[in-house]
Structures are given as C-alpha cells and as structure tokens.
Amino acid sequence: MPKTVIAVDDSMSIRETIRMTLQPAGYEVHTANDGVQGLQLCQQHPADLVVTDLAMPRMDGIALITQLRALPHYRSLPILLLASDAQEDKKVAAKKAGATGWVAKPFDPNRLLELIRKACPP
C-alpha cells in the first residue's frame, strides 16, 4: 500500500509539482488549497506525511501544523513546511508549532523527493 502525502499550498502549480514529483515515486498524493481545507483533508484521509506552505489564506501553515499536532494521528508524523520567507522568526515559530523540517521556495523537486523519502520511505 503506498504511503499517503497531503500537500497544502494556495498555488496550484506548487501542488501539481508536488503531485507530479511524488506519484511516480510511489506515493499517493492528496492536495488542498489552504489550511482550512488541508485540515479537513487530513482528518478525512489520514496521511503518512504532510507538506504545507507557510503563507496561505484562511489558515497559514503554522496554524495548520498546530492544529494537526493536536490530533492523535498527527502528533509525531513528519510535517514539512514550504516557505519563500527565510526569516529566522518564522523558522522558530514553525519548529515550535511542530514542523519536522523547512523547505525553501523555490524548491528543487528532486531535493523535495529526497527529503520526503528520508522522512517517509515509500
């Protein structure tokens, strides 16, 4: 059974890049376009790993991580945060919320796949 990854980003091109990178590598990928939809999706389809953007409408990535960490299934699951903002205070807030790792945008799809394989082998 393939591992499930949920990708949450308000950019359709980022969501599709993640999908087109991970599906051929053996992952099942579900996508959401903001934190609210991402939280609902995570509750409906328990994942093995979550990749979320930082800056999104309705609920940002840090709030999503905080909400997910409150759910039993997501307490210790890998959660990677995508962000173009490299400010140290955002990294600290993400870590404090429970992010497993930080991926700078723009990202190399092969590097993202490598990180995901380390955190959640297919």
Q: What is the pTM of this model?
A: 0.94
- Omega before 106 within 30 of 0, i.e. cis: yes
Q: Give the span between the Cα atoms of 70 and 95, in whole angstroms.
A: 15
Residue type, 45: H
Residue type, 74: Y
Q: Give the span between the Cα atoms of 107 and 96, in whole angstroms.
A: 23
CATH topology classification for 4-107 = Rossmann fold (3.40.50)
Q: Give the span between the Cα atoms of 72 and 54, in whole angstroms.
A: 22
Instruction: Parse the chain into domains and list their residue ranges.
Output: 4-107
Predicted local confidence at residue 12, as pLDDT: 96
Predicted local confidence at residue 14, as pLDDT: 96
Residue listed under structure tokens 């499930």:
4
Along the 122 residues of the chain, how does pLDDT read in single tens digits? 899 999 999 999 999 999 999 999 999 999 999 999 999 999 999 999 999 999 999 999 999 999 999 999 999 999 999 987 667 788 888 899 999 998 888 899 999 999 999 999 98
For the record, the structure tokens of 41 come out as 């999706």
